[in-house]
Amino acid sequence: MPMQESYAIEAQGLTKRFGDFTAVDAISFNVKKGEIFGFLGANGAGKTTAIKMLIGLSRPSAGEATIAGFDVYNETERIKENIGYMSQKFSLYEDLTIAENIRFYGGVYGLSRRQIALKIVEITERLQLEDYSDKLVGELPLGWKQRLAFSLAGVHDPAIIFLDEPTGGVDPTTRRQFWEMIYEAAARGITIFVTTHYMDEAEYCNRISIMVDGRMDALGSPRELKEQFAAASMDEVFVRLVRGNSN
């Protein structure tokens, strides 16, 4: 499989079956480096299953994919060195302080002590939490936890950051602030792969795909899709897509 230098993520016919049930049905797509790629779909459409295959947590049933040039079947450990991940549950250690969480994940990713110290400063400054680096994460409000989780996902400056429904449960202002962070990361050259079921967030992405019942039924930039489906907003695109399906 020839490696395209400019693609961060390549997937071809990627499939995941659980017994008789096909959760992800032969999806194919590419993500360019530095792109913000939105992975949309309703709850239960197969987004989380798909992302798990891409980050090396789940073995595909069929199809191919490379992440940062590494194969998802045989090179999962290399993939993990080069990506960051933020799960729906944030996965922060609530009984550890901010600094301790950074130290742990930094250490796990192989950063040196100096690098970790720098990162602690960098992250707490960016989050404007410099005075709180010794506060237990459990005491932080939800919005801060969210942004901290994102920073931790990028603590080792990976090529790609995967986000699985990162903005669940927060108000629109906080969501907007979060997306600021995403833009900033993308501006630094990091590829962002984000799943969400909020259709308005789709507008923030360079390109998006929409999954319906395990299949990828739409792929393109928000503008392209709105033209394709003659819709005024992404919400409408989605509704038309789903309705079109059930016809």
Partner 1 sequence: MRRLAYIIQKEFIQVFRNKAMLPIMTIVPIVQLIVLSYAASNEVTNVRLAIVNQDQSAASRLLIQKVEAADRFILMDFPLSVEEGDELLQRGEVGIVLVIPAQFERTFYREKRGEIQLLVNAIDGQQATVGSGYLSSIIQSFNQEMRAELRLVPMQSNQAQILTTSSNWYNPDLNFKYFMAPGILGELVTILVMLLTAMNVVREREIGTIEQINVTPIKKWQFILGKMVPFLIIGLVLLTVGLTAAKLIFNIPIRGSLVVVFAFCILNLMAVLGLGLFISNLSDTQQQAMFTTFFFVIIFILMSGLFTPIESMPKWAQYLTIPNPIAHFVSVMRSVLLKGSTFQDVIYHFRMTGIMAILFNILAIWSYRKVA
Binding positions for partner 1, rule: CB under 8 A = 52, 55-59, 76-77, 80-81, 83, 85, 87-96, 100, 103-110
Instruction: Tell the smallest beta-carbon distance from residue 136 to partner 1 (Å).
Output: 8
Q: Which is nearer to partner 1, 93 or 183 (CB)?
A: 93
Q: Which is nearer to partner 1, 96 or 181 (CB)?
A: 96
Instruction: Tell the smallest beta-carbon distance from residue 246 to partner 1 (Å).
Output: 31
Euclidean distance between CA atoms 129 and 152, whole angstroms: 14
Instruction: Tell the smallest beta-carbon distance from residue 56 to partner 1 (Å).
Output: 6
Q: Which is nearer to partner 1, 103 or 207 (CB)?
A: 103
Q: Which is nearer to partner 1, 72 or 218 (CB)?
A: 72
Instruction: Tell the smallest beta-carbon distance from residue 25 to partner 1 (Å).
Output: 19
Q: Which is nearer to partner 1, 28 or 76 (CB)?
A: 76
Q: Count of CB atoms within 10 A of residue 30's CB?
A: 17
Local structure of 172: helix, strand or coil: helix
Instruction: Tell the smallest beta-carbon distance from residue 19 to partner 1 (Å).
Output: 14
Check if the beta carbon of residue 13 is closer than 8 Å to that of residue 36: no
**Can you give the C-alpha Rg of the chain in angstroms?**
18
Euclidean distance between CA atoms 86 and 56, whole angstroms: 14
Q: Which is nearer to partner 1, 16 or 226 (CB)?
A: 16
Integer CA distances (angstroms), 137 to 42, 94, 145, 208, 225, in order: 30, 5, 7, 32, 40
Sign of CA dihedral 52, 89, 144, 197: positive
Instruction: Tell the smallest beta-carbon distance from residue 245 to partner 1 (Å).
Output: 29
Which residues neighbour 30 within 8 Å (Cβ) at sequence distance 6 or greater?
A: 4, 7, 9, 10, 11
